[in-house]
Every structure is written in C-alpha cells, then in structure tokens.
Structure 1
Amino acid sequence: MRLRILATTDLHMNILPYDYHADRSVSGWGLSRTAQLIDAARGEAANVILVDNGDCLYGSALGERLPDVGSDPVHPMIRAMNHLNYDAMNLGNHDFDQGRDAVLRSIRGADFPVLTANADLPKDAGIAPYVLLRRQVEDDHGGVQVLTIGVIGFLPPNSLHQAQIDTRDILDTALRYVPQMKAEGADVIIALAHSGLGDTAHSADMENVLHPLSTIPGIDALVGGHTHQVFPAEGAEDDGFLNGIPTVMPGFWGSHLGVIDLSMTRLDGQWSVCSGAASLRAVSDDPCCEAPENNTIEALFSDLHNSTRAAMQARVGETVRPLNNYFTLVGADSATRLVQHAMLDHARLCKDALGLPDLPLLAASAAFKSGGFGGPDYYTALGAGTLTQRSLADLYMFPNSFALVKVTGAFLRDWLERSCSIFNRVLPGQKAVQLKDDGVPGYIHESILGLTYQVDLTQPSRFSPAGALRSATAGRIRALCHEGRPVRDEDQFLLATTDYRVLGGGNYPLPVAEDILPVAPIEIRELLMDYVANQDCIAVEASPIWQFVPVDGASVWFRSSPQGREVVQEYPWLRLNELTACDARGFTCYELPL
C-alpha cells in the first residue's frame, strides 16, 4: 500500500497571490496557487492526506484586516484550509502573536484537528498533542484496508512567553508521545515540527531540531518549517532524507508543496513503512500558476482582498530620501535604520516614563526581506515622498513586540558575533568568496544603531550559522565603539529589541530575566507608525554602522536585486563591481573588494 503526504508550512496568511506591500500580483506564492499543486498531486495517488505545519494565521497585511467575529466566525485561513480539505494542522509560534484567546477563537471553525504537543494549553482548548486518523485506503491490489495514521505537532520551545504559555523540549515530548501513539495503534507516524534543520547534536529546548528529531524511533515522516527554508533543495546533494527519514521543508507563504510518498507492507496484521521518498514542488516553476483556471479561493476572499488594499493606501508620513535594504548584508540599509530610529524613540519614552537607569540607548533590528528564497524582488524599497500603511508594513512585516533589556558590553559583543556568524571566512588573497551560503537566511543578521564596529572575516566565527557555539574565544567584531569610545565588557547599555530576540529567537544570546525591563506591550509596527506620524518629514542618514575589516587582496560576492544598481549611489562608501547582471534566479551578483 502507498500513502502520499502533502504538506504546507509558514503560510503567514498569504491566501492570495498578492504582495500588499508592493500592491501587485505575484506568481511565486499564495495558497490559491499552491492549491493547484495540491489538486495535481492528489490526482496522482490513491491515498493522500494534506497537512499544514504552522504559522498560518498571521503575518501578512491580509491578516490585519480580519472581519468582525460576528459577521464571519471562521478565520479566513481556516476557511481556506477547510475548502481544501486539510486533514490536520500544527500550530507555530507566530500563530500566538495575538495571544492565546485569539488562537482559540481562530481554530473553532476548523473541520480538521489542530495540534501541538509541547505547549501547555487548556484541555478544553480544542488543541491535541496528536491525532490518530483512521482512513480507508486502497492497497496495490485494489482492496480496501484500514490504516491508522498518527500525526503529532511541535512548535519552538520558549517561543510563547508573550502569550504566557509554557513549552517543553521537542525531543523530550516526542519520546513521551511517539511510543504512546504506537501503543494506541498508529501504523505510521508523521511528525509536524515547526522547526528548522539545526545542528545534529541535541541541546535542551533547541529551537531548530529536525536533525536530532529524525533519530526518534517510530517517526516515519517529518515535515519541518519555521526558518522559511526549503528541503530538499533543488540541485543540492541531499536526497530528502534525515537519518533515513523522508523529510520536507516546503518554504514559506505557499511557495512550495511538500510531497512525501511512503510504501508500506503488512506483516502479521501490522502495517509498516518499507521505503519512502520526499520532494518539493515549487509554485513559481509550475506553468499553470501563471493563470489559474480554478479561482474559487480568490472568489471567496475578494471582499477581504479589496478592503485590505484600500486600507494599505492610507497616508502616515513623508520621507525625504528613498529607503531600501538591497545592500543590508554589506552594511548599507536605510530601511532598517528607520525602524531602529523608531525603536530608539520609543525606548526614550519608556526610559523617561519608568525612571529607568540613565544608560546609553541602542536599538537592534534586522532586514526581514533580504532576497534569499524570496527571490530578487524580496527586498524593501520605498521611494522618497509619501509613506503609507503599506510602506510601514513593508518595513516591518511581523507582529513582534518591543522589548527593552539592560545589557553589558560583553553581551553586545556576543550579540554581534551571533549576527555576523552567517558570513563565510575569507583569507588574504582570496577573490570572490561567497559572502554567505545560499541556505543561510539573511534575516538572522542584525545591526545595532548607536554603536560602530568592524567585522573581520579573516577570523573564524564564534557561532555556527545556525547559532551553535563553536568557540568561546573566537571573534570577528573589531573596534566596537559607542560615540567614538571603545566599549568595555563591563559597560552597561539599554538595548531596544523584540520579544522574539530576548526569548532566544534565531539562537541569539539570552539575557537574564531580571535584565528584561517591564515595558508596556506594543508591536514594533505600531511604534513605527507613531514615530513616522509624529515627524514632520523623515530624513534617515545612511552612514554605515559597521563595515568589513580590509583584507589584503581579497573580495566577497553576494546576490541582490537588479534594482540595487539604481540606488547604490546612496551608499558612496561601497565599492561594488557587478559580476552577473542576472543569474539563473534573477539576482544580480555583486563583488565587494575587502
């Protein structure tokens, strides 16, 4: 007998193929596009289940324009998933961005089980650690069999403090429940882990845990997510297996459909998996996605789509200069600088209102949209002039909340070491070394406004790109200064950041609890809107916060948008050479001499 598992992950309320930040249709993402791949994959196999792996309820402008509960009690994403006949859904950390009660309200209309095994939720919440789906299936001889499919869900530990929900280690939870599922009759077990690949060795409360999770006996198939990566990668040497377990990570926003095919045999009355295969199908590579014939989902949400577009056009403020982040990976990013200024401004208000210590204020943030798997158009680029709701949503996409932390110089150095761990090492004389590997997300890299520093790529990194400590004595941060004065390890500062980071998101250093200051909850997007609205006109200085240490005879190359060449003059300290005008993925490749 054969079983096909179809999987989506990290949809982030991208039901429709529309970029509300750029106000244009797209072909590379959107659940209505993925739905065509789902229909095609279902038509190829007799026995199919469809699952989602979390972070589907929030994350796009469409998710900010939800109808009143009284007019439509079913959350739009849940309505879309009901329409597509999903069999089960796991919860991710961002599904709790509006609190526990919002999640419970959102899932009430689901026609499928909603799962998470490692979060402490009320027993009457309608969320289970796992489900046993008993399905009538067709065997290879045309006979009808009963198969019990176990599906279990996990989300990242320590990611729900803002929602006041305790979590547990993923592996400890799997070791508890997987044998229980087997004892209750599961013939096959699918693990939906809202978690990235991570390192091979397990550590307590590990955020990205697919590698060690794949070693748990009894798990037959694995679906990952959270980090917005794809696995197996197109053209890569991996074959869709982790420790022999077929595994998929289907990108983000509906960019890919994960397909796992299991072959099963029955011996002594028990079904067992004898072989499997895992692959991805990309929306952008499917010709039918350019002009879908079946637009049922589009029709279901046309009113919500139109009201969202209208709301996004509301004026908030003005900017004198263009704002963009095409060159964020080489230290030139005016778009993220505006977010940092807004965070600093709010930190000053908190400091005055709460009578906080008179310490220097700093602000840390990253560019969410930095190319990568999102493609050459996946950057923030705003022209001079009017800033709208759409502009601000483009500057900061996720509903992370403001956090203020008392930190030392040593802590800041560790923070920046983690940030620059995404870069590859470059030795004197080496030409055109790739700055970072394609599989490493650019949004991990953060800069800190209020400091200046250099990054020495000739040195080994203190952390791995995934955030694991490699060497406590290694270091790349040089000339770390505040207002021109070297920062000492014992110096103290107030760092404006997000709840996601202070809880270890991205495997950044964790502050001790007593150093996290008790500020009123507010989303970064909200304080950004307040800041822009209260300015006569925004004029962001684009001078560098950080630069690379010069390396004799060496250079690095990196990908960015072809549109970058139109704004590179805004960053006169960059000395870029164009290597490739348009590569196979549509990016321009630039060389930066060190």
Structure 2
Amino acid sequence: MAVVGGAAIIADPAHAASEKANRLTIIVKVKGRWQVGSSSATTLNANTVPEDPTIAALIRPAHEKVLAYVNSVIGTCTQAMSAATSRYEDTAAMDFINQVQAQEVKAHLTGAAAGLPVLSIAAPFNKAAAIPQGSVTVRDVAGLYIYDNTLLGIQFSGAQVKAYLEKSAEYFKPVPGPGTYAAADVTNAATVAAPNGTPDYNYDIMWGLDARLTYDIDLAAPVGSRVVGLSYDGAPVADSQQFGVAINNYRQSGGGGFPGVTTAPVVYNKQLEIRQLIIDWVTAHGVVDPPSFFTIDWKLTASGTPLTITP
C-alpha cells in the first residue's frame, strides 16, 4: 500500500511490485475513516507469464485426467454435423440438440402434462461446433453446447409459440426482396434492446419431437409479422393448441426478453445440465444418425421466395 496525497493506493498483492496490477483500489480518509474512493481492474494475459513449476507440477495430474476425459471416445456419428450455418439455415446439429432436450422433457412429463406434444428451443451460439463423421469424443459433443445451462420444460399455447418465434425473428435484418445475401447482411440485427446487434445466442430455433413444427421467416415482412405458415404435423398451429416446450434456464428466467416464458407453467425441472445430457445421450446410444432426426423445418424467405444465404 502506498499513501499519496492523503489517499491510500492498494494493488493486488500478487502484483504489488508491478505497475500492471490487475486490481487497483484507492481508498480515501473521510472524517477520520477510510472508505473506497475508486476501484479498477485490468485483465492480464496469462500466456505472457512463465508458468510456475511448483504450481504446474501440483495441477498436472488433474489436468491430464481432464484431457483424458474430454478426448475419450463415447460414440460414433454416421454423418458429419456442423453448426457453422445454423444461424441462417436449418442444420442437423441444432436438430440434435433439440432432440436430446425434447426427449428428456417428454420422458418426465406427468399428470395433465403427460400427453402434451413436445417442442424444443435451442440457439446457435457456437459457430465452431462440429461433430465429425466416425468417432465422437466428449470434447466434440461438449462443443455443441458451450454454456452451463440447465433444462426446463414449460407449457405454451400455439399463440405463445407464434409470439416467441416472432421475437426470435427480430434477429434478422430486413431484405428488399428475393435474392442472394451474405450472412452478415441478414443476421445480428440492431434493436432497441441490442443496439450493437442481436447476439447469436438470442436467436432461437424451435423443433418438434412428436411431429414436425414447420415455419418460414419472411425477411421482407415487418418485424412482428415475419413468421409465416406455422404448422404442426402438417396443420396450422391453433392459438389454443397446447405444447410442452424444452427450454434452458437462462431463457426461461427471462434472458433475451422472450415473451411468455417467465409466467408459463413449469412442467419439468430436474436441474440437469444440457451439455451433460447430450454427452450422456451419445454415451447411452452409441451412434448419432442425423438422417433419423434431421429434416428442414424452417427457412428464410422474402415474399414467399426462399433466400440464398452465403457465409
């Protein structure tokens, strides 16, 4: 600690001898008592600092154990799945996440909710996620779901499903008409809530387990009226129709400001981590077969004409 002009400056003890302390607090004496005047922090790059051999030796066994686990093979995949284009087109990678979530919720619905058809919601928040053809490791599967979210099930009406998808469709920028557009020209639209652009994790894709949920997102239509042809099992979704919906805890608690989620009845909540559920699914089934669950259920259009989106 140093006293300068009546103020005490406290640097992080680990960096007290350096001007690059990652925490700096200035306390001032007011009426004989010390109080915090200001505090700041700086992120330091650990890659620029030589490792401490003593600490490295202590954590090496645990580090090697983790590496062995994440690199362990837990199954196989019949076709490669990539999430790189999931923001603007339907992909098997997102359908796989939704399938695992929906199956878990469906298997544990009870009482009046037991007969509900189940939908699932997931966001394409990791463009780098990919499951290779052939052997699949824990690392591969965990990359599909990079957050620690837990799974819930809520009950939604058809009207609420439509409202939810309209909110999700705010992620896209408008287009003047049919044509070919670069992904950057149609995604991450700026909104009042996200003036710097809507993040990928606030765009949700909805999928049906018991039957297909299909819809188009018309980017030539005004925000709030973009979801076209919303159908379940080939029939238009009725406002009063009831569904169980698999959703993560971040979204269900209000993250992203999606309508209806915080007040919807909760029909499933075992507080299980979604990432671990996906790992467990692959471990238990042994084989991931995209053709068995992947169908193109949604697409981007302009005035009814499908758009072509380039990376």
Range of TM-score over shorter length: 0.7 to 0.9
Q: Which runs of 5+ in 1 are unaligned?
A: 7-37, 51-86, 88-132, 136-146, 150-180, 191-220, 224-256, 259-280, 371-378, 462-473, 556-574, 578-589
Aligned counterpart in structure 2 of residue 310 of structure 1, from 68, 75, 93: 68
Which position in structure 1 is the counterpart of 2:156?
Answer: 407
Are 2:190 and 1:341 aligned?
A: no
Equivalent residues of 1:454, 1:480 under 8 A apart: yes
Equivalent residues of 1:409, 1:493 under 8 A apart: yes
Aligned-residue offset at 1:343: 1.2
Which position in structure 1 is the counterpart of 2:301?
Answer: 549
Q: CA RMSD in A?
A: 3.9
Query: 4+ residue stretches of structure 1 with deviation over 6 A?
Result: 1-6, 552-555
Aligned-residue offset at 1:553: 10
Greater CA drift, 436-445 or 317-326: 436-445
Which position in structure 1 is the counterpart of 2:222?
Answer: 460
Equivalent residues of 1:448, 1:545 under 8 A apart: no
Are 2:118 and 1:361 aligned?
A: yes
**Structure 2: distance between partners of 1:332 and 1:326:** 11
Q: Which runs of 5+ in 2 are unaligned?
A: 189-195
AA matched with 1:363: S
Which position in structure 1 is the counterpart of 2:191?
Answer: none
AA matched with 1:407: F
Equivalent residues of 2:98, 2:121 under 8 A apart: yes
Map 1:142-181 onto structure 2 (within 5 A).
147-148=27-28
Q: What SS does the corresponding residue of 1:338 show, helix, strand or coil?
A: helix
AA matched with 2:297: I
Q: Judging changes above 3 Å, is the alpha-carbon distance between structure 1 residues 456 and 186 closer, same or farther for their aligned structure 2 residues?
A: farther
**Structure 2: distance between partners of 1:360 and 1:440:** 30
Give the count of matched residue pairs.
288
Of structures 1 and 2, the one with the larger relative CO (CA 8 A, separation 6+) is 2
Aligned-residue offset at 1:347: 1.8
AA matched with 2:115: D
Q: What SS does the corresponding residue of 1:328 show, helix, strand or coil?
A: coil
Indicate the percent of aligned positions where both proteins have the same amino acid: 22
Which position in structure 2 is the counterpart of 1:155?
Answer: none
Aligned-residue offset at 1:308: 0.6
Q: What SS does the corresponding residue of 1:549 show, helix, strand or coil?
A: strand
Aligned-residue offset at 1:309: 0.4
**Structure 2: distance between partners of 1:346 and 1:313:** 25
Aligned counterpart in structure 1 of residue 227 of structure 2, from 466, 477, 483: 477
AA matched with 2:282: V
Equivalent residues of 1:331, 1:545 under 8 A apart: no
Equivalent residues of 1:415, 1:508 under 8 A apart: yes
AA matched with 2:220: T
AA matched with 1:457: L
Q: Judging changes above 3 Å, is the alpha-carbon distance between structure 1 residues 331 and 5 closer, same or farther for their aligned structure 2 residues?
A: farther
Aligned-residue offset at 1:418: 2.2
**Structure 2: distance between partners of 1:494 and 1:554:** 30
Which position in structure 1 is the counterpart of 2:89?
Answer: 331
Q: What SS does the corresponding residue of 1:344 show, helix, strand or coil?
A: helix
Aligned-residue offset at 1:403: 0.6
Equivalent residues of 2:77, 2:289 under 8 A apart: yes
Equivalent residues of 2:175, 2:302 under 8 A apart: no
Map 1:101-112 onto structure 2 (within 5 A).
none
**Structure 1: distance between partners of 2:113 and 2:306:** 46
CA deviation profile, 1:180-234 (whole Å, cap 9, x unmatched): x9xx7646345xxxxxxxxxxxxxxxxxxxxxxxxxxxxxx7x8xxxxxxxxxxx
CA deviation profile, 1:214-257 (whole Å, cap 9, x unmatched): xxxxxxx7x8xxxxxxxxxxxxxxxxxxxxxxxxxxxxxxxxx5
Aligned-residue offset at 1:350: 0.8
Equivalent residues of 2:253, 2:262 under 8 A apart: no
Which position in structure 1 is the counterpart of 2:243?
Answer: 493
What TM-score do you get using the length of structure 1 for normalisation?
0.43
Aligned-residue offset at 1:535: 2.4
**Structure 1: distance between partners of 2:51 and 2:229:** 56
Q: Judging changes above 3 Å, is the alpha-carbon distance between structure 1 residues 511 and 305 closer, same or farther for their aligned structure 2 residues?
A: same
**Structure 2: distance between partners of 1:368 and 1:385:** 24
Which position in structure 1 is the counterpart of 2:265?
Answer: 515
AA matched with 1:546: W
Q: What SS does the corresponding residue of 2:173 show, helix, strand or coil?
A: coil
What TM-score do you get using the length of structure 2 for normalisation?
0.77
Q: What SS does the corresponding residue of 1:356 show, helix, strand or coil?
A: helix
Q: What SS does the corresponding residue of 1:404 show, helix, strand or coil?
A: strand
**Structure 2: distance between partners of 1:394 and 1:4:** 43
Aligned-residue offset at 1:346: 1.1
